Structure 1
Amino acid sequence: MTQGIKRALISAPGKVILFGEHAVVHKKLAVAASLGLRTYLHLEENDTGKCRLHLPDVDIDLTWALSDLTLDVDRVTLETGHPMDIPEEIKKQFEKWMGVTQREAQRQAVLAFLYLFFVLKTDKPTSFGFTISTRSTLPVGAGLGSSASFATCISTALLVLFHHIPVGFAQSEKRESHLDTVNRYAYKAEQVIHGNPSGLDNSVCTFGGALSFRRGERFVPLEGFQSLQLLLTNTKVPRSTSALVAGVTAKKEKYPQVIDPILESIDNISLRCCEAFKRSNKDSLAEELEDLVDMNHCLLHALGVSHGSLEKVRSVTGEYGVKTKLTGAGGGGCALSIIRDDVNVETTNLVAQKLAAEGFDCYRTSLGGSGVNAVVLDNSLDQAWLMSADRETLEMHAT
């Protein structure tokens, strides 16, 4: 880090798909936005000569002597190709350093860190050392961009640590250039984790706000975008994204005259969403988005990607006039509900309580929060606060 800066707090948002799930696979438009739920990373530079990676959300706490972390390959060679196409002997060395990481989420997180470490590291004195600790308010594996949020934080931390970008990059004159750099390496980390991601999740986590996107084209910031209040419900029902995508493709091949118009309608819903924000009429925006939410879900249900748990969420929220749709792959996972300004806190709390009684987890959050950020921490703060502070405290230090 910059001389004199020993500790920093980095944070990045999660993401949610507003409209266009599944249709986007077939080159239709989709819209995604950042969430108020974030991943937080505490970075501390020290003189131990060791690197500690502490990821309590996935039960990882590993320490390496930096003098042991060496590879017989230069960073350009490692960075140029696809992260998973690295030579077999390097993969074996990574596996050796990963230790006891039995769960896939553990392996992916450590592998992404090690890859970025070797791509971004520069020569430092042997006394140099650092600790990286993370905590997230995002549920893991729920389709809310937890891996991309983590990838964005890790890439930012290592870019700052090895002096590729300043710790105050988000407020600098070269902000956009620095964000592009963060996004590029966050995408590399996402490739380590997912193989062939679209780049959407890390882009939303890096830049924040909302983006429209079509497969094979550049992501476009949503003109006139306004923040909205959401209730996110995690049904905690596991699902296979690849199986659900394959199921829609099979239906399209079997019933093209039926499925193609459904996909086209979803495309038009995403287009209508973009137009609604451009008009910037806040009074009518929520009402229009509610209509689009309702229609989009029904079309996704027709594609066969809803689930009994998601329909239960819609039933409970519908009793209180709150519109809900599945978000992401469907088949379980998460649902999003638009909370209008005229829906009072008591009503929202009651809805959340009823959903919790069904065994679901609820998160009241905002849509379209800021992107990745980094701030210098007051040295009087004990590192342990990261593990114990509530969300409001974390957000206060991360902004």
Structure 2
Amino acid sequence: MTATKMVERVLVSAPGKVILFGEHSVVYQKMAVAASLGLRTYLCIERRQDNLIRLLLPDVKADRTWKLDELPIDVDFTNCDTRHPSEMPEKLQSRLVKLADADAQNPTTQAVMAFLYLLVIIQIKAAGTPLDHGFTIIVRSFLPVGAGLGSSASYSVVISTALLILYNLIPVDFNSSSDRELHLELINKYAFKAEEVIHGNPSGVDNAVATFGGAKSFVRGQGFSTLEGFKSLNLLLTNTNVPRSTSALVAAVSEKRKKYPEIIEPILESMHNIGIRCRDAFKKLHDGAITTEDLMVEIGDLVVLNHSLLDGLGVSHPSLEKIRSITAQHGLKTKLTGAGGGGCAVTFIGDDIVQSVVDEVMSFLKDEGFDCYQTSIGGIGANAVPLTNNESSQWLLETDRSTLEQYM
């Protein structure tokens, strides 16, 4: 398959991520553990019969169309796949900003800029071979935006995957290919480029989890490792719908650390050790040293300890404590995830918990104005499947989550 003979329609998806342990402490080179989330972002790329490129992002209210000859394919950007986007030639940057047609700091525009940037550098990767047809990309996400669940990384991964397929740099069935790991590494490489456009200096863990799936341990400056023996776990994700500033929360912890170093440093070190205990528990499960029941007991203990430490750092919130109270009344363990101060909480659901209990908990939480998602962690990362002629790109906008999940 060449770029000019692309499969008519392809459905691509990638998961979000959830931090299990190590929020805030990861800033200070402590171990964090993150896992792929069952909630996913979906993309449909469809070949067009004209010379137009259309990008439709309904979640951020973007609908842009360009002609093929508007793309800046004549720029000289040597080693663009290893250089930071801020190093792009001024000529390229000005043209991309013009094509994006808005304030570069606007979140919607950043998503558009990330797409355009990937389109340019992936075409360079494909030896500059121009397309001889247009295409439509529609992206739809079931991840809450700005909730610390890796929505931008999930978007970056599906865009990266779709464009690499478009330019014949990876096959549609890359997950069943003998070169699967190489294809995933290429997807992750370009997704990270998109994350750099959006965030400037991302850690790389979000796009890695969205690309490879499963669970990763991560230490800033040292990279990430796959958790050996990790198994998929069921959980309840609750969005408080309380807005918060991640940067402000991180800054507040930093100030507290400066003021009370002899107190805060042991808290951060304890959180580091929680990440290690989580990693080691899954290794023991893999080696047969503990049972799944033993694992869930330890995870539950670590959840309570980690949240208490985060509360000690001052990053919990009354809404998060309300969620913990409601779930605790039903024997479930809950912690905040992400920056805190609102945002989301995760509740772990063991195999011994019957669905009627989960339903009751969700009902109580919804009565408090929270949004609940029953999902799982640790599933597959990036994936793609060809679609039939009956499933146009617009079909993606009309299809429910459960139906889409059956494709992946």
Structure 2 length-normalised TM: 0.94
Distance apart, 1:53 and its partner CA:
0.2
Distance apart, 1:103 and its partner CA:
7.9
Give the 5 Å matches for 1:300-379: 300-379=310-389
Instruction: Give the alignment partner of residue 302 of structure 2, picking from 288, 292, 304.
Output: 292
Distance in 2 between residues matched to 1:178 and 1:102, nearest whole Å: 31
Q: Deviations over 1:155-206 (max 9, x none)?
A: 0111110111111111101100111100000000000000000000000000
Distance in 2 between residues matched to 1:382 and 1:159, nearest whole Å: 20
Question: Where does residue 98 of structure 1 map in the other structure?
Answer: 100
Instruction: Give the alignment partner of residue 44 of structure 2, picking from 42, 45, 55.
Output: 42
Give the 5 Å matches for 1:104-143: 104-121=106-123, 122=126, 123=128, 127-143=132-148
Task: Confirm or deny that 1:55 pairs with 2:61.
Answer: no
Task: Confirm or deny that 1:258 pairs with 2:263.
Answer: yes
CA gap 1:258/1:317 in 2 versus in 1, 3 angstroms: same
Distance in 1 between residues matched to 2:233 and 2:130, nearest whole Å: 48
Q: Secondary structure at the match of 1:242?
A: helix
* Number of residue equivalences: 398
Task: Confirm or deny that 1:237 pairs with 2:239.
Answer: no
Task: Confirm or deny that 1:392 pairs with 2:373.
Answer: no
Q: Secondary structure at the match of 1:219?
A: strand
> What amino acid is the match of 2:39?
L
Distance apart, 1:241 and its partner CA:
1.1
Task: Confirm or deny that 1:186 pairs with 2:191.
Answer: yes
Distance in 1 between residues matched to 2:234 and 2:85, nearest whole Å: 37
Task: Confirm or deny that 1:203 pairs with 2:205.
Answer: no
Indicate if the aligned counterparts of 1:75 and 1:118 stay in contact, CA closer than 8 A.
no
> What amino acid is the match of 1:231?
L
Indicate if the aligned counterparts of 2:29 and 2:219 stay in contact, CA closer than 8 A.
yes
Q: Deviations over 1:34-79 (max 9, x none)?
A: 0110000001112211100011111111110011112552343544
Indicate if the aligned counterparts of 2:244 and 2:343 stay in contact, CA closer than 8 A.
yes
Distance in 2 between residues matched to 1:71 and 1:382, nearest whole Å: 28
Indicate if the aligned counterparts of 1:75 and 1:120 stay in contact, CA closer than 8 A.
no
Distance apart, 1:238 and its partner CA:
1.2
Instruction: Give the alignment partner of residue 158 of structure 1, picking from 156, 163, 179.
Output: 163
Distance in 1 between residues matched to 2:80 and 2:273, nearest whole Å: 42
Distance apart, 1:31 and its partner CA:
0.5
Indicate if the aligned counterparts of 1:76 and 1:119 stay in contact, CA closer than 8 A.
no
Structure 1 length-normalised TM: 0.96
Distance in 1 between residues matched to 2:149 and 2:301, nearest whole Å: 22
Distance in 2 between residues matched to 1:108 and 1:385, nearest whole Å: 26
CA gap 1:239/1:200 in 2 versus in 1, 3 angstroms: same
Distance in 1 between residues matched to 2:76 and 2:163, nearest whole Å: 17
Q: Secondary structure at the match of 1:144?
A: coil
Q: Deviations over 1:232-284 (max 9, x none)?
A: 01111111111111111111111111111111111111111111111212111
Distance apart, 1:213 and its partner CA:
1.1
Indicate if the aligned counterparts of 2:72 and 2:95 stay in contact, CA closer than 8 A.
no
Q: Deviations over 1:263-318 (max 9, x none)?
A: 11111111111111112121111111111000100000001111111111111111
Where do 5+ consecutive residues of structure 2 fail to align?
A: 286-290
Distance in 1 between residues matched to 2:130 and 2:225, nearest whole Å: 43
Give the 5 Å matches for 1:210-221: 210-221=215-226
Aligned alpha-carbon RMSD (Å): 1.6
Task: Confirm or deny that 1:74 pairs with 2:84.
Answer: no
> What amino acid is the match of 1:227?
S
CA gap 1:54/1:196 in 2 versus in 1, 3 angstroms: same
Question: Where does residue 85 of structure 2 map in the other structure?
Answer: 83
Instruction: Give the alignment partner of residue 253 of structure 2, picking from 225, 248, 253.
Output: 248
Kindly, what percent of the aligned residue pairs are identical? 57
Q: Secondary structure at the match of 1:31?
A: strand
Distance in 2 between residues matched to 1:290 and 1:77, nearest whole Å: 47
Where do 5+ consecutive residues of structure 1 fail to align?
A: none
Q: Secondary structure at the match of 1:178?
A: helix
Q: Secondary structure at the match of 1:236?
A: coil
Question: Where does residue 227 of structure 1 map in the other structure?
Answer: 232
Distance apart, 1:24 and its partner CA:
0.8
Q: Deviations over 1:84-135 (max 9, x none)?
A: 2324443322222113579822011101001001101255566411010011
Q: Deviations over 1:322-356 (max 9, x none)?
A: 11000011111111000111111111111111111
Distance in 2 between residues matched to 1:379 and 1:101, nearest whole Å: 38
